[in-house]
A and B are shown apart, each in its own frame.
Chain A
Amino acid sequence: MIELNQITKTYVTGELEYQALKGIDLTINPNDYLALMGSSGSGKSTLMNIIGALDVPTSGEYLLRNKPIHELDDNQISEFRNQEIGFVFQTFNLLPKLSALENVGLPLLYANNIEKEEREAKSKEMLELVGLGDKLLNKPNEMSGGQRQRVAIARALVNSPSLILADEPTGNLDSKTSESIMELFKNLHNNGQTILLVTHEKEISEFAQRTIVLKDGIII
């Protein structure tokens, strides 16, 4: 489904050049559950940003179902993120003034032609799926960390993306809550969702089917 061919990324600051990725080849198949591991500075965040289309590679090919993503313009890339990728962040990144329902509905707001009623119905469905059917109107500050991350996962799922990109999703949670979140990912995977999990914790990576380790910009 996703194919990366010889992806490199070079950062230039003044006269200094830093090559974060040095030729990455990676294939992600439908219903894969991958863990991407590596120490800090290994390039895993850069790779995740490129897969999530938040950043563009310096060279190489990025194909989604044989469609070259690296050739899209900014508007098309925004659409791609909206339709194909669901982000889950370490710090949840919920908008504090919006209710759980509104936070979950945010991606639908930027999708084409979705009426308010449909948006709310879908968001509600997703929140019920992650076990927060009773917190629809709560604001983020009225919820626990685990609940917030569930809202974020519901938001990632709401547009039925091809890939869920989870960047240290349990980094801010205690071990018991982490476990329940990982349980949720496992259920999603069992229901056919493709997931890429970025983590530096071995225990977390063990939930995945396959682990890729990144070191100094290459996969080892």
Chain B
Amino acid sequence: MTTLGIIFGVGAVISMLAIGNGAQQQILEQLKIVGVNNIIVKSLYDKEEENSEEDENDPSNAKKYSPGLTLKDLSNIKEVVPNIELITPEVGYETYVLSSSIRKKTKAVGIEPSYFKIFNIELEQGSYFNQIQNKNRKKVCLLGSTLSKLLFPKVNPIGKTVRIGTLNLQVIGVIKKMGGIADNLQSMGINDYNNEIYVPIETLLSRYKDRGNINVQNNWSWGGGKKENPNQLDKIIVQLKNSKDVAPSGKLMNRMIGRRHNQVEDYAVSIPEQTLKQQKETDDLFNWLLGAIASISLVVGGIGIMNIMLASVQERIKEIGLRRAVGAKKNDIKMQFILEASFISLFGGIIGIILGISLSYAVEIFLEMPTKISIFSIFLSFVISVLTGIVFGYLPANKAAEQNPVNSLKYE
């Protein structure tokens, strides 16, 4: 009963540090993946499409015309926004990819080579494609690590051909496997690099579904009632030189694209780094909460130990007197009681460590939050539980040591 406070206190310390470490590590990994100083403009076309179908013939609901997110937007951003380090458009199609005998569902992503730099994408083997290959609409591609293993389980994929739709592509590289790509990142516009196929955007636009045709100035009338996505692009990803420019540039781009799209909100500007930082703040708050619970529990546990030790001093007054009579110094008595308190507390601490570790695993499994139990946190918990024993055992121990031996021996 007494040790319950210590058990929960130490348990909370362990899980707090585990969750904190886990979140910290995840965010660091994610920051690496989303890259720093990035702004992502995302097309919201798909949602619009569903609504617009019903409203089309209703003049009161007449929609303002928006050209969607196009390469024009891209070149506009390039011209207007200062201090751009790198920029890339991105299109993606849910499709099937075919190797000689295997067919897999995947997403074909069309990008410029700068994409790899922006997101720090490393290669397992082979090479990236370059801007010349992009401009020349070369039929090449890079595979995600997982996808590459699925398509070519036995052979080296480099130089092999895969097929999306009617387009044959030669594999020139495989992307290194990446961990930590959680759902929240995909909602921030980060791709699942392990399972996708990366193609030069010009190749994809011109040779796959022929969306490149929309590039012509007055393209909006082209294809009339066709329900194909008329937007050139799904995303524009901009990397700035300085982090201090990110927020103002984000606003600037928001206004600029808004004007170009006749204020139709068919796009969204997001700054993944900022989103992650906000997320981190929430995590930190959660951690502080756990920390508060831990300290309250430890204090409650400590007071419990103090009480039981005070009772124990009262119960053992005669023993204290006897020990003093046979030569125990005040310090010997004090040490004895502090040691006992520390043992009780340490015992609670060990159970607490076990509880904390199980709690961390439970959090990982049931809440799907990453946790990381460090040796340091276990060591810290040991220290904390022993310290609690010492701090809260001190008063009773002092009381024991200061007992008058004559009275103690007479005590019944």
At the interface, yes or no: A49 with Cβ under 8 Å from chain B? yes
Residue from A52, A83, A110 in contact with B329 in the complex, judged by beta carbons closer than 8 Å: A110
Query: What CA separation (Å) do A89 and B331 show in the bound complex?
Result: 24
Closest CB in chain A relative to B408 CB, distance in Å: 9
A82 within 8 A of B: yes
Q: How far is the CB of B319 from chain A (nearest CB, A)?
A: 6
A87 touches B327 (CB 8 A): no
Contact with A along B395-412 (1 / 0, CB 8 A): 000000000011001000
| Cβ–Cβ contact A107 & B405, under 8 A | no
Q: How far is the CA of A52 from the CA of B321 in the complex (A)?
A: 13
Q: How far is the CA of A139 from the CA of B285 in the complex (A)?
A: 56
Question: Which of A72-80, A130-138, A186-194, A202-210 participates in binding chain B?
Answer: A72-80
B318 at the interface (CB under 8 A from A): yes
Q: How far is the CB of A18 from chain B (nearest CB, A)?
A: 15
Asked whether any CB of chain B lies closer than 8 Å to the CB of A55, the reply is yes
Tell me whether B260 is interfacial, beta carbon within 8 Å: no
Partner of A78, one of B318, B321, B328, B406: B328
Asked if B326 is at the interface (CB within 8 A of a chain A CB), the reply is yes
Give the most central of A55, A79, A93, A95: most B CB within 10 Å. A93
The yes or no answer to A121 lying at the interface (CB within 8 A) is: no
* Contact residues of A between 26 and 60, Cβ < 8 Å to B: 49, 52, 54-55
Q: Which of A75, A87, A159 contacts B325 (CB 8 A)?
A: A87
Min CB gap A56→B, angstroms: 10
Q: Is the CB of B318 within 8 A of A79?
A: no
Q: How many residues of B contact A (CB 8 A)?
A: 17
Evaluate contact between A95 and B322: CB separation under 8 angstroms.
yes
Contact A74 B409 (CB under 8 A): no
A54-B406, A110-B332 known; A81 vs B319 contact (CB < 8 Å): no
Most A CB atoms within 10 A — which of B321, B322, B325, B405? B325
Considering the complex, give the chain B residue whose CB is closest to the CB of A93: B322
Q: Which of A55, A75, A110, A155 has the most CB of B within 10 A?
A: A110
- Residues facing A in B305-329 (CB within 8 A) are 318-319, 321-329
Determine whether the beta carbon of A155 is less than 8 Å from that of B319.
no
Interface presence of A213 (CB below 8 A) = no
Q: Which residue of the partner chain A has the closest CB to B405?
A: A54
User: Is B330 in contact with A89, judged by CB distance below 8 angstroms?
Assistant: no
Minimum CB–CB distance for A107 against chain B, Å = 4
- Provide the B85-105 mask, 1 if CB < 8 A to any CB of A, else 0: 000000000000000000000
**A49 neighbours in B (Cβ, 8 Å):** 406
Does the CB pair A110–B330 fall under 8 Å?
Answer: no
Total chain A interface residues with beta-carbon distance under 8 A: 21
Q: Is the CB of B326 within 8 A of A155?
A: yes
Complex contact A82–B406 (CB within 8 A): no
Cβ contact of B327, chosen from A55, A81, A95, cutoff 8 A: A81
Cβ of A160 to closest chain B Cβ, rounded Å: 13
Q: Does A111 contact B (CB under 8 A)?
A: yes
Q: How far is the CB of B137 from chain A (nearest CB, A)?
A: 87
Q: Does the CB pair A107–B327 fall under 8 Å?
A: yes
Whether the Cβ atoms of B319 and A75 lie closer than 8 Å is no
| Residue in chain A with minimal CB distance to B322 | A93
Which residues from 137 to 195 on chain A have a C-beta closer than 8 Å to any C-beta of chain B? 155, 159
Q: How far is the CA of A79 from the CA of B409 in the complex (A)?
A: 18
Residues of B within 8 A of A74 (CB): 329-330
Structural contact, A78 and B409, CB atoms closer than 8 A? no
10 nearest CB pairs, A to B:
A82-B327, A110-B327, A107-B326, A78-B329, A93-B322, A54-B405, A110-B328, A54-B406, A81-B327, A87-B325
Residues of B at under 8 Å CB distance from A?
A: 318-319, 321-332, 405-406, 409
Q: A75-B329, A78-B327, A93-B325 are in contact. List 20 more A-B contacts (CB 8 A).
A: A49-B406, A52-B325, A54-B406, A78-B329, A78-B330, A78-B332, A79-B327, A82-B327, A87-B325, A87-B326, A93-B322, A93-B409, A95-B319, A106-B322, A106-B326, A107-B327, A110-B323, A110-B327, A110-B328, A110-B332
